[in-house]
Amino acid sequence: MPTIDYFAPEGRLKTPPLSSAARVGELIFVSGTPGYRADGQLDEDFGAQFELTVTALRATLARAGSSLRALVKVNVLLTRPQDVAEMNRRYAEAFGPAPYPARTTCVVAALPDPRMLIEIECVALADSRSA
């Protein structure tokens, strides 16, 4: 059985019972990541939540030995359909240039915190230099 390395959440005031990421061999699975500020609050602005979500993803991937450029699959959960166009624009800036990872985007009725407008989970390849 392969070894599984778990990466505890970092810098969150309240954390549900989960790991921020789990690494199995060369694959890194990152839990759904919201855009909380350092004080544990969520900005009401979608753009701010998106940017904080990407910042948190970068940090989690780095701790697990990867980066945004090594993403294989991304799942984006939004709570408002009107945010899809802005998400696509910001996503292209944050995850570009092409080629982009495979992606699913869903608009859901709600996320665990009713103030959350976005949550992103992903799968990445490990950087072979960090193994």
Q: What is the pLDDT of residues 18-72, one digit of tens each?
A: 889 999 999 999 999 999 988 889 999 999 999 999 999 999 999 999 999 999 9
pLDDT surpasses 70 at 82: yes
Is the pLDDT higher at 16 or at 122? 122
Q: At what angle do helices 84-95 and 46-64 cross, to 10 degrees?
A: 40
Is the pLDDT higher at 16 or at 52? 52
Q: What is the pTM of this model?
A: 0.90
Output the average pLDDT for the chain.
Answer: 91
Is the pLDDT higher at 14 or at 83? 83
The parent domain of residue 88 ranges over: 4-130
130 pLDDT band, cuts 50/70/90, is very low
Domain count, the chain: 1
CATH code for position 24: 3.30.1330.40
pLDDT surpasses 50 at 131: no
| Cβ within 8 Å of residue 20, ≥6 positions away | 7, 8, 9, 10, 30, 31, 33, 60, 63
**Geometric angle at alpha carbon 108, from 61 and 68, rounded to 5°:** 15
* pLDDT-above-70 percentage for the chain: 92
pLDDT surpasses 90 at 7: no
Q: How many residues does the chain have?
A: 131
pLDDT of residue 5: 85
Mean pLDDT of 87-113: 96
Smallest CA-to-CA distance from 27 within 2, 58, 9 is with 2
